[in-house]
Amino acid sequence: MNESIQTFLQLMLSGMSIGGVYAMVALGFVLIYKATGVFNFAQGELMMVGAYFSFYLITQYHLHFFQAFLLALIISAFLGIVVEFLILKPMVGEPIFSVVMITVGLAVMLKGTVSLVWGHDVHQFPSPFISSPLSLGGVTIFRSSFWTIVATFALVVIFILFFRVSKVGIAMRAVANDQRAAQIIGISIRKIFSISWAIAAVVATIGGFFFVNIFFVTPDISYIGMKAFPAAVLGGMDSVPGAIIGGLIIGIIENLAGGYLDKLLGGGIKEISSFVVLILILMIKPYGLFGKEEITRV
């Protein structure tokens, strides 16, 4: 295989793996926005907390990683419900800007709490994946990265079925479409809000689990939330498949920018590429690639 093509494919695969994490976190943004109309800027911190739950259940309580992972998902779901009930529920009816600022404060609180309880040390996650890389047609990829991509596409299938088949998923779609009409036909808006936050926290934890398998465990991994936000905007803030596709696109663009443009321009392009994409999308297609355009008549 030509060396330039091999390099390109290598960057694409690596970009898809980190893009898978962006997609999972972006999915949390979309789920909460669809149900409540609120941008949850604490999504990255929910991912971080879920990763720490997994890490300490394995290292401190010596649980098998499958047990720790499942228990971390349950704890994260409970955390999402508690956050919605104690912090977001009292803000119902308040201006959207105030609610968004509450999520910013929640992000700071969660990161500060994790730093206070577990410190700022960088930890190596006890990965369940074999360390030897896979070779796919001459292109190598770490097994943790490979399974991140697999998990991302699995989530696409799961959530498509969830929203099309399950009663809860259909109810969430109804609430997202018209809260008043949904309430009239007997759907509990409060219950849907709680479920949305629980699912968003669970998806963030899944993303956190795969991210720390690729990198490290540290409170600073919460920055992924701000990297995933452009992915949610790119795909469309009301589109679940769009969040997945947007995450993969942002991950690939970042990696290609780091692999090619950083060498030419001296570095730093990879870090800003996702926000350049965000600005361009908002200028050209404000509702994202798959978002539903709203027309206001005056």
pLDDT tens-digit map of 1-55: 677 888 888 899 989 999 999 999 999 999 888 888 888 999 999 999 999 999 9
Q: Where are the domains of the chain?
A: 3-284
Q: Which residue has the higher pLDDT, 291 or 100?
A: 100
Q: What pLDDT shows up at residue 138?
A: 74
Residue 116: per-residue pLDDT: 93
Site of tokens 């998990």: 151
State the Cα–Cα distance between residues 30 and 237, nearest whole angstrom: 5
Which CATH number is associated with domain 3-284?
1.10.3470
Within 13 Å of residue 257, how many CA atoms lie on the same side as its CB? 17
> For residue 214, is pLDDT > 90?
no
pLDDT tens-digit readout, 229-286: 999 999 988 888 889 999 999 999 999 999 888 888 877 888 888 888 888 888 888 8
Q: Is the pLDDT of residue 86 over 80?
A: yes
C-alpha to C-alpha distance for 160 and 170, rounded to whole angstroms: 11
Dihedral angle sign, alpha carbons of residues 71, 40, 127, 161: positive
Instruction: Say if residues 212 and 122 touch (Cβ distance below 8 Å).
Output: no
Most confident of 74-78, 135-139, 227-231: 74-78
pTM as predicted: 0.90
The answer to whether 35 and 172 are in contact (CB under 8 A) is: yes
Task: Give the residue from 184, 292, 293, 182 showing the smallest Cα distance to 240.
Answer: 292
Residue 267's pLDDT is 78
